[in-house]
Amino acid sequence: MIHSKSNQRYQIIINAVLLLVTVIMVAPLVLLFMSSVSSESSLLNNGYSFWPKEFSMAAYQYILTNGQTILRAYGVTVIVTIIGTIANLVLSSTAAYALSIKKLPFRNIISFYVFFTMLFSGGLVPSYLMWSNTFHIKNTIWALIVPNFMCSAMNIILMRTYFMTSIPEALYEAAKIDGASYLYIYHKIVVPMGKPIFVTVGLFAGLGYWNDWTNGLYYINDAKLYSIQTLLNKMIQDIQALQANAAAAASGAAMTIPTVSVRMAIAFVALAPILVVYPFLQKYFAEGIAMGAVKG
Amino acid sequence: MKNGKKSEKLTWSILKQYIPLYLMMLPTLIYLFINNYIPMTGIVVAFKKYSKKKGIYGSDWCGFVNFEYLFKNDAGLIFRNTLLYNIVFIVLGMVVGVALAIIITDVYSKKLKKLYQSAIMLPFLISIVIISYIVFAFLSAENGMVNNSVLAAMGREPIQWYAEPKYWPFILTFVNLWKGVGYGTLIYIAGIAGIDTSFYEAARLDGATRWQQITKITIPCLIPSLITMTMLNLGRIFCSDFGLFYQVPQNSGALFSATQTIDTYVYRAMISTGGIGRSAAAGFFQSIVGFLLVMGANMIVRKVSRETAMF
């Protein structure tokens, strides 16, 4: 590009605009972090701010020493995310692999069966009634794993497309001639060669589980099974219940609500893993978005 | 069927070799059957007087009673909110997304380009519950940053943000844009990267300004993908982001006039006593209209650019 004066000016302007956008994108996260390291008194006196009057790590100390509920919720989230992501990858990739075999009889019908789930949905009410009354999933760990997040047509389609375009069919043929079973081909060829798509789909499936609070809202009211997002959600509900009914608060009906800074610290701790992995996996996130790998 | 020839030859011995493949995908197909197909049949609950004892299919039919109730009372507000928010989100998301994509593409420094891209994508990855905590840090009446630092410094009275519906269309639009704009931007950046660079070279030789290049080359070249995105969004115009409208206003009852959408209504009615009927009616409406809109939108997309259509 030619470095003319007008071009230089243009570069300055767009960089200024984009720096401002970057600040807008990141500043709220800074506020969250700063709130979590503010002392309780400076929060109560001066409110949340980007530079608290008085710093304190008390909120994090509290989480580490007294926060059994919080640590437990964190553990639930980790377990649910791991199991859910693996289940999602297995369910999506096996179907995607089978549907990538062009000669499979009834392939079109089955593809349509998968695809139709993207076009039409029964909505919340029938699905809620089915999971809670037919499968009795309420207040079990399965409630956080099974409904909605375990497999989506989008993931199957993304993986099928990848397998069909990136793994040469000749490889399958050769393996078949050597007498390899379909399961063996899946295990020895599809999984290793499809690694990039496994990472991308797994990342979004994992993100979906980590961030999900809806299944917890619908199906969980046993505090032992709170995920970290469910816990954050319940804390808001309890505060509102307190504000609505101060008398109930006095009787200690609601669970004890952590202080303002502790709440922000919990939120930050829930966010931290994403911030940590993001720089390393940014490429996969970007590719996933470009391919349309959003949950749902 | 286009593979009629194959199915003619389809014999048991051929089918038999594929049994392992069918078995491999069986769990997935069963999962989709349970998670997606059974609830599809369950939408009949909208026409029933639901009783927990009798279940969805055993409950007594009640005709359009649930719909009558819905349309007499709440439908106007929730449909209006859902549609208006979506229209604003679609338009703003597109304008801001395209603008950001164009200027990010033009940034000369590769490092800065990557920084900007990473930054605008970041909010997309954050759970809406955490976002509601962040919004609360800004807007809480007692401790919020806006009331304590900004309004106080300007000598203004603090505002009860969570009790005043009039601010919320702006707040929710901002939050939605903040969270979602990176997604569109990334797609448009990919679109711009696909434009033939010789167009720009020719334009520069003819002395076209940067602005002319944008309006005469970049935007016209993006139009197919803009139409596709808009159509896909229009297909979902009766769906709202439950988290955005439920969590971010912290479920505050005072704000319902500005924050109640179909999805929050369906949930709130469902968990209220005796509300399953109207909840199911609203959900039924959303499912059917949503399906018709998606089909219609896809038909239009197919006409514009075949390869970007969903099917």
* CB–CB contact B121 A104 (8 Å): no
- The fraction of chain A above a pLDDT of 90, given in percent, is 60
Q: State mean pLDDT over B295-304.
A: 84
Note whether B51 contacts A: Cβ–Cβ < 8 A.
Answer: no
Alpha-carbon gap, residue B84 to A77, rounded angstroms: 35
Residue B39 has a pLDDT of: 95
Question: What pairing do the DSSP bridges indicate for beta strands B48-49 and B60-61?
Answer: antiparallel
Residue B10: closest C-alpha in chain A: A105
Domains of chain A: 5-56 (no CATH), 67-291 (1.10.3720.10)
Alpha-carbon gap, residue B32 to B126, rounded angstroms: 27
Q: Distance (Å) from the C-alpha of residue B38 to the closest C-alpha of chain A?
A: 8
A17 CB neighbours in chain B (<8 A) are: 103
Residue A236: closest C-alpha in chain B: B250
Q: How far is CA A59 from each of CA A138, A154, B118, rounded to the nearest angstrom? A: 32, 41, 29
Residue B4 has a pLDDT of: 45
* CB–CB contact A22 B242 (8 Å): no
Residue B8 has a pLDDT of: 56
B22 CB neighbours in chain A (<8 A) are: 98
Alpha-carbon gap, residue B287 to A112, rounded angstroms: 19
B187 CB neighbours in chain A (<8 A) are: 289-290
Residue A68 has a pLDDT of: 86
- Residue A143 near residue A137, CB atoms below 8 Å: yes
Q: How far is CA B111 from each of CA B87, B106, B118, rounded to the nearest angstrom? A: 35, 13, 11
Residue B13 has a pLDDT of: 85
- If one compares B155 and A77, the residue with the highest pLDDT of the two is A77
Q: Distance (Å) from the C-alpha of residue B282 to the closest C-alpha of chain A?
A: 10
The half-sphere exposure of A281 on its side-chain side, counting CA atoms within 13 A, is 21
**How would you write A17-80 as a 3-class SS string?**
HHHHHHHHHHHHHHHHHHHHCECHHHHHHHCCCCCCCCECCHHHHHHHHHCHHHHHHHHHHHHH
Residue B303 has a pLDDT of: 82
Q: State mean pLDDT over A20-41.
A: 94
B43-79 tens-digit pLDDT: 999 999 998 888 888 899 998 999 998 998 889 999 9
CA B171 to chain centre: 17
Residue type, B81: N
**Which of B13, B49, B143, B301 should one mutate to test binding to chain A, selecting the residue with the greatest count of A CBs within 10 A?**
B143
Q: Which residues pair with A55 in a beta bridge?
A: A38
For the record, the structure tokens of A204 come out as 């979004």
Q: Distance (Å) from the C-alpha of residue A29 to the closest C-alpha of chain B?
A: 7
Q: State mean pLDDT over A153-182.
A: 89
For the record, the structure tokens of A193 come out as 């060669």
pLDDT band at residue B2, thresholds of 50, 70 and 90?
A: very low
Question: What single-letter DSSP state applies at residue B215?
Answer: I
B36-50 tens-digit pLDDT: 999 999 999 999 999
* CB–CB contact A133 B122 (8 Å): no
CA B25 to chain centre: 29
**Burial letters for A146-169: b for 16+ Cβ neighbours within 10 Å, e otherwise?**
bbbbbbbbbbbbbbbebbeeebee
A32 CB neighbours in chain B (<8 A) are: 130, 133-134, 137
A237 CB neighbours in chain B (<8 A) are: 251
Query: Residue B66: in which H helix or E strand, if any?
Result: helix B65-73
- Residue A267 near residue A36, CB atoms below 8 Å: yes
Nearest-CA neighbor of A71 among A274, A291, A262?
A262
Note whether B122 contacts A: Cβ–Cβ < 8 A.
Answer: yes
B20 CB neighbours in chain A (<8 A) are: 181-183
Residue A282: closest C-alpha in chain B: B118
B129 CB neighbours in chain A (<8 A) are: 211, 213, 229, 232-233, 236, 267, 270
Question: What single-letter DSSP state applies at residue B157?
Answer: P
- Residue A119 near residue B295, CB atoms below 8 Å: yes
| pLDDT exceeds 50 at position B125 | yes
| pLDDT exceeds 70 at position A247 | no
Q: Which residues pair with A38 in a beta bridge?
A: A55
| pLDDT exceeds 60 at position A296 | no
Axis crossing angle, helix A260-291 with helix A5-36, rounded to the nearest 10: 140
* CB–CB contact A21 B1 (8 Å): no
Beta strands in chain B (DSSP E): 48-49, 60-61
Q: State mean pLDDT over A238-262.
A: 65
CA A148 to chain centre: 13
Residue A45 has a pLDDT of: 85
Question: What single-letter DSSP state applies at residue B126?
Answer: S
φ and ψ at residue B48, rounded to 5 degrees: -125, 160
* CB–CB contact A46 B148 (8 Å): yes
* CB–CB contact A104 B21 (8 Å): yes
Within chain B, where are the H helices? 4-9, 12-17, 19-32, 38-41, 55-58, 65-73, 75-106, 110-121, 128-139, 145, 152-153, 168-193, 197-205, 210-213, 219-235, 242-246, 256-259, 262-271, 276-304
A77 CB neighbours in chain B (<8 A) are: none
- The fraction of chain B above a pLDDT of 70, given in percent, is 95
Note whether B289 contacts A: Cβ–Cβ < 8 A.
Answer: no
Alpha-carbon gap, residue A63 to A258, rounded angstroms: 10
Q: How far is CA B169 from each of CA B144, B161, B259, rounded to the nearest angstrom? A: 19, 12, 8
Alpha-carbon gap, residue A45 to A43, rounded angstroms: 6
Note whether B133 contacts A: Cβ–Cβ < 8 A.
Answer: yes
Measured from the Cβ of residue A63, the count of other Cβ atoms closer than 10 Å reads: 20
* CB–CB contact B129 A233 (8 Å): yes
Length of chain A in terms of residues written: 296
A15 CB neighbours in chain B (<8 A) are: 107, 109, 112
**Which of B36, B175, B266 should one mutate to test binding to chain A, selecting the residue with the greatest count of A CBs within 10 A?**
B36
Within B194-218, where are the H helices? 197-205, 210-213
Q: Which residues pair with B61 in a beta bridge?
A: B48
Q: What is the reported pTM? A: 0.91
Note whether B250 contacts A: Cβ–Cβ < 8 A.
Answer: yes
Task: Count CB pairs under 8 A between chains A and B.
Answer: 280
Lowest mean pLDDT among A91-105, A228-242, B157-171: A228-242
Residue A149 has a pLDDT of: 93
A100-127 tens-digit pLDDT: 998 899 999 999 999 999 889 999 999 9
| pLDDT exceeds 60 at position A295 | no
| pLDDT exceeds 60 at position A248 | no
Residue A96: closest C-alpha in chain B: B25
CATH annotation of B65-308:
1.10.3720.10
Residue type, A32: L
Nearest-CA neighbor of B129 among A213, A226, A72?
A213
